[in-house]
Structure 1
Amino acid sequence: MAAKTTPARLGRSPLPRLRKRLRNSFLFAPTLGLVCGWLLATGALAADTAIFELDERLADVELSQIWFLRAAEDLGASVKTAAGTMAAGMLTFIGVVFSITLVALQMAGQFSPRVLRLYVQSRVTKATFALFLATFLFTLRVQKEYAGGTGGGPAIVPYVGGMLSMGLVVASLLVFVLYVNATIRLMRVTCVIDHVSRESRQVIADRAGLRTDAASEARTRDTVTAVRTIGYQGKPGVLQEVHAARLAELARGHDCVLRLLPRIGDFLAPGTPLAEVRGGVVPSPRQVLRCLDFGADRTMKQDVAFGLRQLADIAARALSPAVNDPSTAVQALDHIHVLLADTARRPSGDLLHTDRNGTIRLIEPVPAWTELVDLALTEIRLYGAGSPQLTRRLAAVLDDLARNAPAEHLPCLHRHQRLLEETVRGTLLLPGDQDFALIPNRQGIG
């Protein structure tokens, strides 16, 4: 089989890492909202001051003078009152949004702690907080700055400030409606399962063209060179992302081939073997670490197994005696079925990455399909053996996979079919219940 490799690419900039940090942070967007609110209020004040000065220069025209004074008295007072009301109302709205967010986080924790990231990364939630804070600060400054003229003179007429205040309030109300709708969706376990499934399918699609059987092309030169190991020397953490193009170019510069030892999602402690080096010069650990991202928890950037882990966790929670919700477990199993069927059709094996010249420089390990099946189905089978709804759906999943999967995957599926039967017969007491629980059904019981 011809090896499928990554196309030659130049090194990555630090911008992707910055975007990832901003996406996982709940500090940047609200802070940006405060800054924008302050700057917008400053610009509105400058614009209204310019209008005020222009109108003063036209004060010798009697009609203009009468219009200006009347506007200063009526519009200035009304906008100041309205701005105070808006500021108080926006502060109340901010408290409501914060309370809803806390409730949503508590609800999400009941599905699985791994899905809390969906709420932290929600653009709608961040945009809502940012807009509300900007509106609150803007209206607060409008109320303060347009208090009246100096020395008993006429007040500045808040034309721009008044219009922008009303516009920001209207925009905040619209965004609040979108926020409530998005939060309600994320509080529904069906939407959470679907979101995780879509993320996982995207990861599979992004990495599908890189799969290979790690054929002998990558080992031709390695058989005559010694293998040297690079140890991990960073802080303890999870391997979240591999910047393959940068690692391949690093290996090209040292005329060697790198084989990563941990997989995406592995937790590394200091001293853990990080990579094997064949041929050429050994890169320094610091150079290798610059091409890898580590963090406190797993992410969906390149981790297909993490998607299955989340779905399996949701199903396990639903099957616990404290919850006893097999229908939710069946819904999670529906999407697990889709992911396993998708990965079953992909070529298996490690990923090969090339440098800009097309030479294989990096070998990245990935989970085998049998490991993904074990991850997705083992705990669900053990926890749901007493629920015919779950076992019937699981039997249908295994039957469908066995019908469409390549021959190399059949032993794994037959093993799980056998384990399912043994587990059910060891859990349910009555033979009739045992036979009923093993009948494949895509709806479980219905």
Structure 2
Amino acid sequence: MLSLRARHRLRVEMWIVPLLCVLAAILLSLITVAIDRAVGDRLIPISITGKPDAVSAILGTIASAMVTLTTLVLTVTTVAVQLAMGQFSPRIVRALLQDRAGQLAYGLFAATFTFAMLALREVDAIGDGTVPGLTVLVAYLLMLGSIAALFLYIHHAGDSLRAAGLIDLVGDDLHEQIDRLYPSDEVVSIPPDLVVSPEPGIVVQLDYPALVAAAQEADSVLELVPMMGDFVPAGAPLFRIHGHPVRLDREYLADLVVLAAERTHSDDPAYGFRKLVDIAERGIATPFNDPTTAVMVIDRLHDSLRQLATRTFPTGRHRDAAGDVRLIERVFSWEGYVRLVFDELRLAGAASPQIPRRLFAALTDLKTVAPLDRQPPLDRQIDLLTAAVKHQFDDGPDQDAALTPDQQGIGSGPDLEPQAPVTVADSA
């Protein structure tokens, strides 16, 4: 049995797993070479492995490619870790270095290099032209495995270095520690009218037809407790059943909800607004101070809200073929989208003259197309933005300038346009 200290080092040290992979490659090489020698190098025909000179060239290429690939991957990983340290937290490094998938990828690349070098020395391209067929075949398979591992590693690394990936990396580890150090002895009793989440995640997609069909078959109504885009802890309610809960399979209903580590655009357009607002806020915040980027983002937010202004919003009631409500969910309202777009930008950008001018321009335009029942949220934003600007600017002219609608932020407002007199010729 390994000592506690040895198990700890095996878990936290990045180099141990690759080293074990290299040692495994050496052992595998000794075994395959021994088998080839025992059968006189006739186990695998040359028609599969290739002639001795071709095999030598291929193995040499594999070895050199694996060295280059390993160096490149380690360099990119080092840069990515440095970026993650600066963007998120310097304490995230250990979690990244302990990532077992990355360690296995490095180990496979190093093992393929080691095996190819050991196989190369067994190929006799000058003498009687012998090829250790099994050894060469295993080298080819390791090469193919390394190519597959490279693509999988790129995908895994990309996921791991996203904000959601890093959060999940630490959160999953914390979840395992809680289960190990604080085991639960109680059997949790779930009310019969609730369907709980089997795992933590964000609601990103629902199988609406299947949910409606299940509710109709049980003569019940399902109420989705979280909203699309909400995070649901493990064991938290997913559905509340109104009607006959005993007729419904709760595990089946839970499987009809897709939970993910990060919100998506599939059925959650509010996430698109959320990301654009984040970009705009980053442009406003210190040390970036790039209000022009924020204005460009507001252009797209303005356009998206204008498309929504006159459209019918879903009620969140899903009916069966007979017209009976079978599934109820909470949905985003017009006021919710308006607040999502303007609240944070108003608070973060009131001190920058470009931002309130562009926000006023967007709000003024939206009021020209929004129906009367959708005007109050826009009026509220205009009042709050006016108060925020007056709080930021003590000088009257600066206040007046910041309160002027301007599609470009600064440049196309009525206070900056030349007021040329209209002549009779112009009218004609």
TM-score (norm 2): 0.59
Higher RCO (CA 8 Å, separation ≥ 6 residues) = 1
Q: 1:47 to 1:95 in 2, by over 3 A?
A: farther
- Aligned partners of 2:48 and 2:340: how far apart in 1? 72
Which residue of 2 is the match for residue 421 of structure 1? 386
Q: 1:291 to 1:52 in 2, by over 3 A?
A: closer
Are 1:261 and 2:236 matched, yes or no? no
- Aligned partners of 1:148 and 1:136: how far apart in 2? 19
- The alpha-carbon deviation at position 373 of structure 1 amounts to 0.9
SS in structure 2 opposite 1:323? coil
- The alpha-carbon deviation at position 137 of structure 1 amounts to 6.5
- Aligned partners of 1:437 and 1:54: how far apart in 2? 75
SS in structure 2 opposite 1:240? strand
Which residue of 2 is the match for residue 393 of structure 1? 358
Are 1:242 and 2:215 matched, yes or no? no
Contact 2:193 2:245 in 1 (8 A): no
Q: 1:319 to 1:142 in 2, by over 3 A?
A: same
Q: Provide, for residues 38-65 of structure 1, a one-character-per-residue CA deviation record: whole Å limited to 9, x for no partner.
A: 9xxx9xx99995335999xxxxxxxxxx
Which residue of 2 is the match for residue 145 of structure 1? 119
Q: 1:267 to 1:85 in 2, by over 3 A?
A: closer
- Aligned partners of 2:307 and 2:330: how far apart in 1? 19
Letter paired with 2:303: V
- Aligned partners of 1:54 and 1:335: how far apart in 2? 58
Q: 1:140 to 1:260 in 2, by over 3 A?
A: same
Which residue of 2 is the match for residue 50 of structure 1? 45
Q: 1:317 to 1:51 in 2, by over 3 A?
A: same
Which residue of 1 is the match for residue 66 of structure 2? 87
Q: How do 1:2-401 residues align onto structure 2 when only pairs under 5 Å count?
A: 49-51=44-46, 72=52, 75-102=54-81, 105=84, 141-149=115-123, 153-156=128-131, 230=194, 232=196, 234=198, 237-268=201-232, 274-281=238-245, 283=248, 285-295=250-260, 297-355=262-320, 360-401=325-366
Contact 2:199 2:235 in 1 (8 A): no
Letter paired with 2:213: E
Q: Provide, for residues 281-321 of structure 1, a one-character-per-residue CA deviation record: whole Å limited to 9, x for no partner.
A: 55364443232234555444322222222322332333233
Letter paired with 1:419: L
- Aligned partners of 1:244 and 1:305: how far apart in 2? 19
Are 1:438 and 2:392 matched, yes or no? no
Q: 1:91 to 1:155 in 2, by over 3 A?
A: farther
SS in structure 1 opposite 2:45? helix
Q: 1:47 to 1:420 in 2, by over 3 A?
A: farther
Residue segments in structure 2 that go unaligned for 5+ positions in a row: 1-20, 26-31, 90-102, 163-191, 412-428
Q: 1:356 to 1:137 in 2, by over 3 A?
A: farther
- Aligned partners of 1:88 and 1:432: how far apart in 2? 66
Contact 2:195 2:240 in 1 (8 A): no
- The alpha-carbon deviation at position 364 of structure 1 amounts to 2.0
Contact 1:232 1:273 in 2 (8 A): yes
- Aligned partners of 1:271 and 1:130: how far apart in 2? 33
- The alpha-carbon deviation at position 385 of structure 1 amounts to 0.6
Contact 2:238 2:254 in 1 (8 A): no
Letter paired with 2:119: E
Letter paired with 2:386: E
- Aligned partners of 1:396 and 1:318: how far apart in 2? 19
Q: 1:271 to 1:81 in 2, by over 3 A?
A: closer
- Aligned partners of 1:423 and 1:345: how far apart in 2? 28
- The alpha-carbon deviation at position 256 of structure 1 amounts to 1.8
- Aligned partners of 1:320 and 1:47: how far apart in 2? 70
- Aligned partners of 1:326 and 1:366: how far apart in 2? 32
- Aligned partners of 1:108 and 1:380: how far apart in 2? 22
- The alpha-carbon deviation at position 245 of structure 1 amounts to 2.0
- The alpha-carbon deviation at position 98 of structure 1 amounts to 2.1
Q: 1:52 to 1:348 in 2, by over 3 A?
A: closer
Contact 2:123 2:131 in 1 (8 A): yes
- The alpha-carbon deviation at position 106 of structure 1 amounts to 5.9
Q: Provide, for residues 107-160 of structure 1, a one-character-per-residue CA deviation record: whole Å limited to 9, x for no partner.
A: 7659xxxxxxxxxxxxxxxxxx9999988766655444343358x8423399x9
Q: Provide, for residues 147-174 of structure 1, a one-character-per-residue CA deviation record: whole Å limited to 9, x for no partner.
A: 3358x8423399x99xx99x99xx99xx
- Aligned partners of 1:387 and 1:109: how far apart in 2? 27
- Aligned partners of 2:361 and 2:285: how far apart in 1? 22
Letter paired with 1:335: R
- Aligned partners of 1:244 and 1:130: how far apart in 2? 40
- The alpha-carbon deviation at position 406 of structure 1 amounts to 2.8
- Percent identity at matched positions? 30
Residue segments in structure 1 that go unaligned for 5+ positions in a row: 1-33, 56-70, 111-128, 188-227
Letter paired with 1:261: V
- Aligned partners of 2:278 and 2:68: how far apart in 1? 41
- Aligned partners of 2:254 and 2:48: how far apart in 1? 60
Letter paired with 2:390: R
- Indicate the RMSD between aligned Cα atoms, in angstroms: 4.8
SS in structure 1 opposite 2:394? coil
- Aligned partners of 1:295 and 1:140: how far apart in 2? 39
